[in-house]
Structures are given as C-alpha cells and as structure tokens.
Structure 1
C-alpha cells in the first residue's frame, strides 16, 4: 500500500479501486482526522469529525464557496442541495410541500402498494433463460418508475432522462488532475435540456393539475409559496436524479452484499422482521453515496489542523461508516446491528430529502427478491462498477438465478 496520504483522494477516485475502496478509507482514518491532499483539498474520514462538520454552519455546501468565477463565466443555478441557509431552507421547504409532512403527510406512505406492484411486475418479467442484470432489469426500473410517477413524467420519456442523468452524474465526478472541461460542458447542456423539458411539462399542468408534484408546484395558489421558473427547473431536475440514482445503488449494493453472504439470505428469510434494520446496515456497510464536498466560510481548526477558507473538503461518509471508534466490528455486515447511526443519508440540514421513500423501495425490493436469492449466484465478482466515486455502485450486476456461476473471485469481509 502506498504510504503518501497526500495522494489518497487520487487513489480513492482511481477507477481501479472502485470495487473495494475500504482499505484506502482505513488508511485515511489512520492518517488523521483531516488529511491535506496534493491538489489543495482535504479529506476527512473519521465518523465524529464528519458528523460535526455536517452540522457546522461554518461549512458551506455551496460550490461557489470553493471556486472563483471569472468575469466571463456564469455560475450555474444551484439546487438546494448545494446551497446554505437561509436560501437552502426556503427552497427545501417549498420542495417538501407536495412530498412530505406536514403538508403532504401521506404522499410517500401511500406509494407502498404501487411500489410493491411495480416490484412484482419487474420480478415476473425477469428472464429465465439467461443471467439477470440486477441493475438494468430490476434496481434501475423500480425507482425510476416511482419517481416518474411522483413528478408526473410520462414513463415513455424516461430514456431521455437516463441519458441526461448519466451525463450529469459523469460531470459531477471527482477526478483530481483530470481535464473535466468536456464533461462539464456536456453536463451543462444535459442540465439545460432536462430543465427545459420539465418546465414545459409543468406548464402543461398549469390549470389542469394531475396528482403529481409538478402539478402541485405550478398550481400553488399562494404566490409566496411558489418556486420561480428557474428554481422549479433546477429543483425538479434534482428530485428526478436524486430520486433514483442513489436508490439504484442501495438496492444493487444490497443484492451484492447478500449474495456474498448466503447465510444472511437465509437469516432474513427466517426473520423477515429484520429487513428494516438490514436496510439500515446496508446504508452503513455499502452506502450509495461515499463523499460530500464542503468548503469553510472562514479559516477554522479541526482536530488541530487549520482548514483555510474556501478549501475543498471531502467528507468521506463511507469511511465514517466503517470507523471502529463509532461502530463495533465495522467491517462486518450485521443486519441486526443496534443503534446504527450511520451516515448513509448524510446528516445535518442536508439530510437526504428522499430517505423515507428510499427505505420503502429498498425494503420492498430486497424483501421480494429474497426467495430468489437462495439459489442465485453471482456471474462475476467483483462486477463492473460505475465510474463515479461519489455515487458508488455496480453498473451491472449479472446474476444467475439458478445453477452455478460462470466466474467468481469474490471479495469477503475483512
């Protein structure tokens, strides 16, 4: 293992380490609570420091706090995910009105039956004559169908969104030292096209509302509670992407984790009441989001290290989730783990907006899959992963629902 802690971000984001970044996270925790990098950024990998910084108002989520924009550049309109209070609070509150309590307390819970129906339809359609790709055949279509239903996007237009989402996620990747200009331009173009589509769709619902969030946004009777057009486009884009990207990873990582541990498949089949806690453990053990970027608004000290104002600070949530100072036996997957205060959905004011929906989707999907996982085998282990190091998960997960695997060289618990 390389000993230079200043190259950790480069090594963590190196695609060769995507299948198993956890030894690098252990190195990060050993190197110190705050680890400066060669590119001028810092990494934080210890649970308690990450949690504290996620709650610290001196740490900004706004990317405009990290970089300086030249007079010829026009900073893009940020979503509330990349804003600080009070603007973050205003936009998030308006976005929550048609989604959750107190204004729409039954919106998510009322979807349970539909999520179960979609799940059963997907399972019934799985091919019996070839290996199944858990990503393309199941883990992707489930949450994307649900988010299309929630926002009011016609399901037949979903392929447009997949291309846009893939481009936007690629543009958001962290690649120290790489030339990201082309990916950035492609991301800007995809974002514009997606926002224009969603704004046009919302406009079609003005005065003709359906039971969806775009209708609720555009037909809000109180002018003080309406999103401006630019805010609506950015918010709807965020909700669509965040509403399925992370859940795809959660379900896929869950299937991969369970197939590597057939004894846990049998345990969960015998103790179905453990499933909600198993999902929480998956959010700790193999979280869908591995890092969040922040920047100090002022110079301040963390655990003896001064972080200058404007420094790009990567809070490595997945490292914090494996911190032995916060979790007993952290490298072991334990579906009955008590007091599991993981960072899988972040923490603080940016705690994941869609966490209740993601939990329902993951519990429903894994619960329905469990009977089929008893005889299932991985075709390839490790599977091919997505490029993005922040949103980590398999790009494909080929599984043979019966018979023996073609090739297995599995990773095991440390």
Structure 2
C-alpha cells in the first residue's frame, strides 16, 4: 500500500486496537512523506537521534504553515512541552524545583505510602463485583487522585476535571482532516481549567500548604519565579499528563497480562519482577504512541531523504519500540527483558517529566490487582478504545472475576 497514506491509516480509528502492522510497514520505509507534506519516522535509532537533535523544534509555531488552532491555545500560551530551550529549560526547571531532584528529591518516594493506601481503598471497593471496568473502577481513579493530591486540588472537583481532560485529550488528535470543533472545545477546556488552577494557586499564595500549587505560587528558584500565566499552563500540563498517560499505562498493562496468562502467573508469584515488567509494558504497549509536533529548524537528512525546514515531523515512538534493529523479538512481551532502553517516555530534553511517578503508580497498582484478581477473564477482546491515536488505550476494559477471586 502507498506509504504516503500511512499516517491517515494509522490514525484511522479502525486500526486503534492494533496499529502495529502499520508501524512495521512504516519501518520498511524508515521515513515516509505524507500527502499533506508531513514526514513520519518509525525506526528506533532515527527517532532517538532526532529527539536529541537541537535542529528539531517542539514549538509548532516554527512550522512553515503554523497550526492556528494550536497557536491560539484558548488564550493560554504553550506549556513548556511545546517550547524550545532556553524558555523550555527555564519553565521545566521551575516546575521540577517542587517535584523532584535535586531540590525536592523525596517528594515521589514519599508518595509510596499514599499511593499504596489509595490502591488498597480502590481494591476494597471492588469486593463483591463480578464484573469490573479496569478503567472506571481502578486505572482512572488512582492517578487522578494522586495528581490532585500532589497539586493540592480538592478531590471533590475531580468530576469536572475529567470532563475538561476528556475534551483536551480529544483535541490531541493529529488525524488528517481533524474536527476543528473538537479543537475549539479542547482550547476552551484548557483555558477553563487553567483559570481554575490559577485562581487556586492565587489562594495558596496567601495561605500556602505542602503541595505543588503552593510551591508554584510562592517559590523562587535560580531561574526566577513562575508568572500567573505560567502557573496556569504548567498546572494544566501536569494535571493532564499526570493522570492520562498513567491511566493508559495501567490499563494497557492489565490487558497485556490477561493476554499472556503465563507471564501474569509469573509476576503474581514473583512481584519483585514488576519494575522490569512495567518497563517492558512501556516498550510493548506505550501509552504515548507518537510525538506529532516536531519541526525541523533546518533541512535535515534522514535515511537519504531530506526533510525540509518547517515541515511537520511526526516521531512514531511505538513503532521505534518494536524495531527489530534495536530489540530482540520486538513483538514478544518479555517482562524480564534486559537492555530495555525504550522510547515509552521519550528521550532528550523533553523526556517525560512525571516518569518516576508513573512508574511507581503502575508498579504498585499492577501488583495489587494481580494479587486480588485470581482468575480474571476479559469480557471483550479487543476492548473499546479511546479515540486518540496519540494517547492510546482502552476506554473501557471489562473483566469478569473467577470464582476463586477474593
């Protein structure tokens, strides 16, 4: 089939349940120019090199034909994920000041007990249910509760955040001919969420507590202080990224393990393998499938093809994770895999900010579920998937409990 329609086929919802044959087709081409002038890159080494190449921008405003809906952002400036250095470094550093090392090295480790308690509470609520929706009953409530507590957002406001999040994620759809109404709804949801978080941070400025919004509002680092607009954009980014990707990581993990009962049994008998298993899940079924907003700042040659300055460049992380030139038996799920330097969290200066937290949540959550559900069975395979081809995961994952379950 024609390589110049690959992206259209990959983003077609009909292929959401299994895009991997299309990724294999992409790797045969290594780099594929699309009908709309964009370029897909699907091989591991080329993707890794581009993620570290200073000639590649994360700011879509550098494109020859800028995306007007993206540039507007509902009245909010881009978050640091969509900026280049030095501004990206300044904002990311200010956010990291209150999140992790070297300034707050213990924040994530200190969450271990809290995450364990939240997981136990969610597991207790599963008691007596013969049919469980892994997404709604477990994988969604856990990370949204964690990120709300980290930021200092009242958990009673979580239902509103889910509506905003769903709208924002729906707008992260790079499909050809994407719905502009969906883009406008995403921008409006982002603005509304930003205003809410900005107002909450303003209250914390006068009455700070031990949360990240308070730190954003009152903190001063070597790079200065976040402005009110920067607090809004950064908080929206962390809240969305802090739970949406982890929902998919946990749900994809449960689905993968149920499809591989031998590996499920192995992990149940040896929970100490779970950290390596989570790394393999990030390679095998990554929650972030692609990075659709890269732009060359100069002409760049990849595998003999010149990608012109300003052209849309799409890095297919999930394809790189299955590249046989980098991984042995890449289509095999192996929770004991060694040398697993996957692209599940990206790489380079834009590598995932919240990776340590996502890893911790997934390890605790999956171990708890495996111990609780003795003989779970999938109700539907493949399950219903979410619309987004970027943040890929089941919308629902229905599991029936066996008679032996506690």
Q: TM-score of the superposition, structure 2-length normalised?
A: 0.96
Check if 1:128 corresponds to 2:125: no
Q: Does the C-alpha gap of structure 1 residues 121 and 60 become closer, same or farther in structure 2, counting only changes over 3 Å?
A: same
Q: Is the 8 A contact 2:32 2:41 kept in 1?
A: yes
Q: Aligned match of 1:40 in 32, 37, 41?
A: 37
In the TM superposition, structure 1's runs of 4+ consecutive aligned residues that sit over 4 Å from their partners are 69-74, 221-224
Q: Does the C-alpha gap of structure 1 residues 177 and 268 become closer, same or farther in structure 2, counting only changes over 3 Å?
A: same
What is the rounded CA distance, in whole Å, between the counterparts of 2:206 and 2:35 in structure 1?
55
What is the rounded CA distance, in whole Å, between the counterparts of 1:40 and 1:203 in structure 2?
44
Q: Does the C-alpha gap of structure 1 residues 71 and 266 become closer, same or farther in structure 2, counting only changes over 3 Å?
A: closer
Per the alignment, in what secondary structure is the counterpart of residue 336 of structure 2? coil
Q: Aligned match of 2:53 in 51, 56, 59?
A: 56
Match of 1:7 in 2: 5
Q: Is the 8 A contact 2:282 2:342 kept in 1?
A: yes
What is the rounded CA distance, in whole Å, between the counterparts of 2:63 and 2:197 in structure 1?
29
CA displacement, residues 268-313 of structure 1 (integer Å, 9 cap, x when unaligned): 1222221100000000000000000211011121111000111111
What is the rounded CA distance, in whole Å, between the counterparts of 1:70 and 1:156 in structure 2?
36
Match of 2:256 in 1: 257
How far residue 373 of structure 1 moved from its aligned partner, in angstroms, is 3.8
Match of 1:175 in 2: 175
Q: Is the 8 A contact 2:97 2:221 kept in 1?
A: no
Match of 2:400 in 1: 400
Match of 1:25 in 2: 23
How far residue 184 of structure 1 moved from its aligned partner, in angstroms, is 1.4
Q: How many residues align?
A: 400
Q: Is the 8 A contact 2:93 2:223 kept in 1?
A: no
Q: TM-score of the superposition, structure 1-length normalised?
A: 0.94
How far residue 222 of structure 1 moved from its aligned partner, in angstroms, is 5.9
How far residue 207 of structure 1 moved from its aligned partner, in angstroms, is 2.3
Q: Does the C-alpha gap of structure 1 residues 71 and 286 become closer, same or farther in structure 2, counting only changes over 3 Å?
A: closer
Q: Is the 8 A contact 2:94 2:221 kept in 1?
A: no
Match of 1:315 in 2: 315
Q: Does the C-alpha gap of structure 1 residues 15 and 127 become closer, same or farther in structure 2, counting only changes over 3 Å?
A: farther
Check if 1:347 corresponds to 2:375: no
Match of 2:279 in 1: 280
Q: Does the C-alpha gap of structure 1 residues 396 and 261 become closer, same or farther in structure 2, counting only changes over 3 Å?
A: same
What is the rounded CA distance, in whole Å, between the counterparts of 1:221 and 1:56 in structure 2?
31
Q: Is the 8 A contact 2:38 2:314 kept in 1?
A: yes
Per the alignment, in what secondary structure is the counterpart of residue 32 of structure 2? strand
Q: Is the 8 A contact 1:292 1:390 kept in 2?
A: yes
- Structure 2, unaligned runs of 5 or more: none
Match of 2:234 in 1: 235
Match of 1:407 in 2: none
Per the alignment, in what secondary structure is the counterpart of residue 126 of structure 2? coil
What is the rounded CA distance, in whole Å, between the counterparts of 2:379 and 2:69 in structure 1?
51
Q: Is the 8 A contact 2:94 2:223 kept in 1?
A: no
